[in-house]
């Protein structure tokens, strides 16, 4: 058995290199799978900040999908660093906006479970707005 | 009086018998030969009479029917005198019978009363005293074990047994008694035999002479120290309790355990509720003050307390001005000495203005929602991957249902855990056995410490891994045949980097072919490596396989109140 993507979504992220930073294996795999089905190249996924940093440096993804908590670590600082460097970041989290400090309020936030159209739209919006700069 | 005539002792006058017996039967006849035996006399008095001697018998007892009535105890005194002729010959006799019953009974009663009095004085531990009629002199004081004894007469007796501060009170009571000629009593401190101070309950009664003058006072002093001391302790603790209640900003209350009526409520209640709380009408008032949404829960909790449980709970008070106060309460039963419910009580704190409380509430709700969303995300991921691996809808239904149940069990465990490091590996493995109904299966043996703690964050992944192992054992491995065996052992390997090591050894006649399936291997290996940096090994053996898992444990598990996963304080 298999579940098929709708045709018009199948290649919508074609050419994008996306880093997934997510500590839960199943969630990370599920998200990777979805993104691959949308034509994207997945970097990672990784459950830890240290490896996220080195993947970032080595592979220069177009956008980072970041869970807010990784075990006992949180990724707010990392997200702000990335943003300062001009790298697009999207939070993918169970928290709502209230759970995120105001300093990170400009970072778009997708709440779990993530809808595929919202994922596509946010990734495209983030990368295009950064490409302009 | 009865007159006998002739040596045959013929009754010639016996009218007096009519009063005593109701008849004069026997008139003109001699007495029966053995009549004296009725009176318990050794020999007939007539022997002495015949010899010209008098004789008398005092207070002879016999059962006697008077005038035909029922026999009653009676006493008589019998006097016999001979009647002599001029020539000093005995010609007859006079018998005088006196009924002494009344007198004898009175004497007996007096004797008994004296005996009883003597006995009662012996059994009572009280001090006994006698005072002169004017109260000035002590005639005697028998102190027993309670006070000193004083052989009177003594004038300064009061000073010897009563502490100076109490002298006036005792003297006043005595004077009052003397003035009214009536018994008096009072409770006062006393100098005990050992020199210590105790409490006496003192009573005295006047004893009158024939002219109604008090000839002496007869009294007793009873040791009431234990009662007085208990009363004093009680008063003391009551004072203390009230002081606490008064000083406390918490709402303290005590209710009757059965009627729920309020017996005590601290002054803070009125302040918290925004209106005076009166004990009399407090019950209705109180229930009306509880927020309608919390009322049922509040009353249900009171019922639990009534059944003997002590509990923490929270509820809201809605004041008349429609403001709401949040209360945190600890309620508990108060039992009597035999363990029966006597009262229920509570300490309630108004936490409305408690920022910490407010913040915590908010964070707790947010954290719960976060956890729920993660769980939904995880469930979604599990469903998707199950969908990929199944060949039929039926298979999908079965597998996904089992996996979601395993996730639900993991969620139960997480909700029960007090902090992020308080779950143990055996709890996890038992939960997984229960999920599949294999907890009593004799083919499974488990061994390991009950104190092996695992991180909460790892629970869902570990749960799914062991669930997968067990499901596969049921379908294809040891639990699919009667002689299969599973042995699970776990331990903590201490050292530079402490690790939890788990070994799953499965023995069966089947080849462990299932393990080659990609998805199963992923669930028992990849998922654990990904997050926990686990070392996982899977080795086929001649009779089955051995699966070992080794997870680094947090070297310094931080104390965690379950809130530390919060990444941001919403107020900053």
- Contact present, A116 and A38 (Cβ < 8 Å): yes
Matching residue, tokens 């067990």: B470
What residues pair up with B214 in beta bridges, in sequence order? B208
Q: CB contact, 8 Å: A47 with chain B? A: yes
- Min distance B506 CA to chain A CA atoms (Å): 26
- Contact present, A50 and B404 (Cβ < 8 Å): no
CB half-sphere exposure, A105, CA atoms < 13 A: 6
Q: pLDDT by residue (tens digit) across B496-536? A: 788 899 999 998 876 665 555 677 788 888 889 998 889 99
* B contact test, residue of A20, A77, A94, A118 with most B CBs within 10 A: A94
Q: pLDDT by residue (tens digit) across B289-325? A: 888 878 888 888 888 898 888 999 888 888 888 888 8
Least confident residue range of B99-108, B319-328, B437-446, B498-507: B99-108
Least confident residue range of A71-75, B132-136, B283-287: B283-287
| pLDDT (0 to 100) of residue B383 | 92
Q: pLDDT by residue (tens digit) across B69-79? A: 777 778 888 88
The percentage of chain B sitting over the pLDDT mark of 90, rounded to a whole number, equals: 12
Compute the distance between CA of residue B40 and CA of residue B54 in angstroms, rounded to an integer.
18
Sorting pLDDT into bands at 50, 70 and 90, what band is B464?
A: very high
- Contact present, B191 and B200 (Cβ < 8 Å): no
Q: CB contact, 8 Å: B404 with chain A? A: no
Rounded average pLDDT over B97-124: 78
Tell me whether residues A24 and B374 touch, CB distance under 8 A: yes
Sorting pLDDT into bands at 50, 70 and 90, what band is B490?
A: very high
| pLDDT (0 to 100) of residue A87 | 86
Q: What are the residues whose beta carbons fall under 8 Å from the beta carbon of B25, sequence distance 6 or more?
A: none
DSSP codes of every residue in A1-53:
---PPPGGGTTTTTT-EEEEE-S-HHHHHHHHHHHHHTTPEEEEEESSHHHHH
- Contact present, B173 and B254 (Cβ < 8 Å): no
* A contact test, residue of B530, B533, B555, B558 with most A CBs within 10 A: B530
User: Who has greater pLDDT, B44 or B307?
Assistant: B307
Rounded average pLDDT over A89-103: 79
- Contact present, A91 and A68 (Cβ < 8 Å): yes
Rounded average pLDDT over B191-208: 89
Candidates A95, A106, A88, A110; CA nearest to A31 is: A110
Sorting pLDDT into bands at 50, 70 and 90, what band is B285?
A: confident
Q: pLDDT by residue (tens digit) across B381-429? A: 899 888 888 888 998 999 899 999 999 999 888 887 656 666 888 889 9
**Would strands B485-493 and B499-507 be described as parallel, antiparallel, or unpaired?**
antiparallel
Q: CB contact, 8 Å: A71 with chain B? A: yes
| pLDDT (0 to 100) of residue B282 | 67
pLDDT exceeds cutoff 70 at A84? yes
Q: What are the residues whose beta carbons fall under 8 Å from the beta carbon of B245, sequence distance 6 or more?
A: B252, B264, B266, B267
Whether this model's ipTM surpasses 0.90 comes out as no
Sorting pLDDT into bands at 50, 70 and 90, what band is B556?
A: very low
| pLDDT (0 to 100) of residue B511 | 64
- Contact present, B147 and B158 (Cβ < 8 Å): no
Sorting pLDDT into bands at 50, 70 and 90, what band is B559?
A: very low
pLDDT exceeds cutoff 90 at B121? no
pLDDT exceeds cutoff 60 at B539? yes
Q: pLDDT by residue (tens digit) across A101-112? A: 778 888 888 887
- In chain B, how long is the greatest CA-to-CA distance? 157
Q: CB contact, 8 Å: A129 with chain B? A: no
Matching residue, tokens 């943003």: A83
pLDDT exceeds cutoff 50 at B565? no
Tell me whether residues A2 and B526 touch, CB distance under 8 A: no
Tell me whether residues A33 and B374 touch, CB distance under 8 A: no
Candidates A61, A117, A118; CA nearest to A85 is: A61
| pTM (predicted TM-score) | 0.51
Rounded average pLDDT over B164-191: 89
Candidates B431, B382, B386; CA nearest to B409 is: B431
| pLDDT (0 to 100) of residue B549 | 93
pLDDT exceeds cutoff 90 at B489? yes
User: Who has greater pLDDT, B298 or B110?
Assistant: B298
Please give the residue of chain B at the shortest CA–CA distance from A32. B381
Compute the distance between CA of residue B77 and CA of residue B194 in angstroms, rounded to an integer.
57
Give the strand order in the sheet containing B544-552: B444-448, B485-493, B499-507, B544-552, B535-541
Compute the distance between CA of residue B349 and CA of residue B401 in angstroms, rounded to an integer.
45
- Min distance A62 CA to chain B CA atoms (Å): 23
Sorting pLDDT into bands at 50, 70 and 90, what band is A11?
A: low
What residues pair up with B150 in beta bridges, in sequence order? B141
Q: pLDDT by residue (tens digit) across B335-382? A: 888 888 888 999 998 888 776 677 777 777 877 888 888 888 889 889
- Contact present, B491 and B503 (Cβ < 8 Å): no
Examine residue B153 and say whether the peptide bond preceding it is cis (omega within 30 degrees of 0): yes
Helix runs in B417-521, H state only: 425-436, 459-475, 518-521
Average pLDDT over chain B reads: 83
pLDDT exceeds cutoff 50 at B482? yes
Least confident residue range of B26-40, B80-94, B228-242, B327-341: B26-40
Cα A68 to Cα A49, A117, B17, B72, B109: the distances in Å are 11, 21, 127, 110, 103
DSSP state of B525: I
Candidates B459, B471, B481, B549; CA nearest to B517 is: B471
List the structure tokens of B129: 């005293």
């Amino acid at each position: 058995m298999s579940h098929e993507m709708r045709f018009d979504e199948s290649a919508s992220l074609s050419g994008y290199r996306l880093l997934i930073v997510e500590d839960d294996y199943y969630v990370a795999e599920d998200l990777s799978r979805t993104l691959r089905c949308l034509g994207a190249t997945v970097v990672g996924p990784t459950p830890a900040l240290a490896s996220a940093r080195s993947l970032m440096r080595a592979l220069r993804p177009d956008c980072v999908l970041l869970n807010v908590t990784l075990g006992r670590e949180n990724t707010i600082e990392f997200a702000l660093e990335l943003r300062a460097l001009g790298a697009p970041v999207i939070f993918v989290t169970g928290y709502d906006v209230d759970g995120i400090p105001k300093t990170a309020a400009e970072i778009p936030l997708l709440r779990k479970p993530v809808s595929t159209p919202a994922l596509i739209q946010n990734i495209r919006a983030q990368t295009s707005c950064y490409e302009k700069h | 009086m009865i007159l006998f005539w002739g040596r045959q002792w013929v009754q010639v006058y016996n009218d007096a018998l009519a009063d005593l017996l109701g008849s004069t039967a026997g008139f003109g006849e001699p007495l029966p030969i053995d009549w004296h035996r009725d009176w318990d006399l050794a020999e007939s008095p007539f022997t002495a009479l015949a010899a010209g001697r008098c004789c008398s018998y005092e207070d002879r007892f016999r059962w006697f029917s008077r005038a035909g009535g029922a026999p009653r105890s009676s006493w008589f005194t019998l006097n016999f005198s001979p009647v002599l002729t001029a020539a000093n010959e005995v010609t007859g006799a006079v018998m005088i019978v006196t009924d002494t019953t009344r007198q004898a009974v009175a004497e007996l009663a007096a004797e008994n009363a004296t005996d009883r009095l003597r006995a009662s004085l012996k059994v009572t531990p009280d001090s006994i005293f006698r005072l002169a009629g004017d109260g000035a002199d002590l005639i005697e004081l028998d102190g027993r074990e309670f006070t000193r004894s004083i052989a009177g007469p003594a004038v300064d007796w009061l000073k010897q047994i009563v502490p100076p501060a109490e002298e006036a009170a005792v003297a006043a009571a005595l004077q009052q008694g003397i003035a009214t000629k009536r018994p008096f009593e009072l409770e006062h401190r006393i100098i005990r035999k050992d020199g210590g101070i105790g409490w006496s309950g003192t009573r005295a009664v006047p004893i009158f002479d024939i002219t109604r003058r008090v000839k002496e006072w007869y009294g007793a002093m009873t040791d009431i120290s234990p009662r007085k001391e208990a009363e004093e302790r009680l008063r003391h603790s009551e004072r203390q309790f009230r002081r606490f209640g008064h000083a406390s900003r918490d709402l303290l209350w005590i209710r009757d355990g059965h009627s729920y009526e309020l017996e005590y409520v601290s002054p803070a209640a009125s302040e918290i509720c925004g209106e005076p709380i009166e004990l009399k009408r407090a019950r209705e008032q109180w229930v009306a003050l509880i927020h309608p949404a919390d009322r049922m829960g509040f009353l249900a909790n009171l019922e639990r307390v009534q059944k003997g449980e002590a509990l923490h709970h929270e509820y809201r008070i809605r004041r008349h001005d429609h403001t709401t106060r949040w209360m945190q309460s600890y309620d508990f039963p108060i039992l009597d000495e035999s363990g029966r419910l006597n009262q229920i009580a509570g300490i309630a704190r108004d936490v409305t203005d408690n920022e910490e409380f407010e913040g915590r509430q908010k964070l707790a709700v947010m954290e719960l929602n976060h956890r729920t969303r993660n769980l939904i995300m995880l469930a979604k991921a599990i469903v998707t991957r199950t969908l990929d691996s199944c060949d039929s809808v039926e298979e999908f239904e079965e597998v996904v249902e089992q996996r979601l149940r395993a996730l639900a069990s993991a969620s139960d465990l997480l909700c029960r855990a007090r902090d992020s490091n308080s779950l143990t590996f055996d709890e996890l493995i038992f939960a997984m056995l229960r999920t599949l109904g294999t907890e009593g299966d004799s083919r499974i043996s488990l061994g390991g410490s009950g104190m092996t703690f695992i991180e909460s964050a790892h629970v869902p992944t570990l749960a799914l891994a062991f669930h997968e192992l067990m499901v596969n054992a049921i379908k294809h491995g040891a639990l699919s045949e009667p002689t299969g065996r599973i042995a699970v052992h776990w331990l903590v390997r201490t050292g530079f980097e402490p690790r939890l090591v788990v070994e799953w050894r499965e023995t069966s006649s089947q080849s462990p072919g299932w393990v080659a399936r990609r998805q199963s291997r992923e669930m028992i290996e990849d998922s654990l490596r990904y997050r926990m940096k686990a070392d996982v090994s899977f080795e086929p053996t001649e009779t089955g396989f051995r699966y070992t898992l080794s997870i680094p444990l947090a070297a310094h598990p931080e104390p965690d109140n379950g809130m530390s996963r919060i990444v941001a304080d919403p107020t900053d």
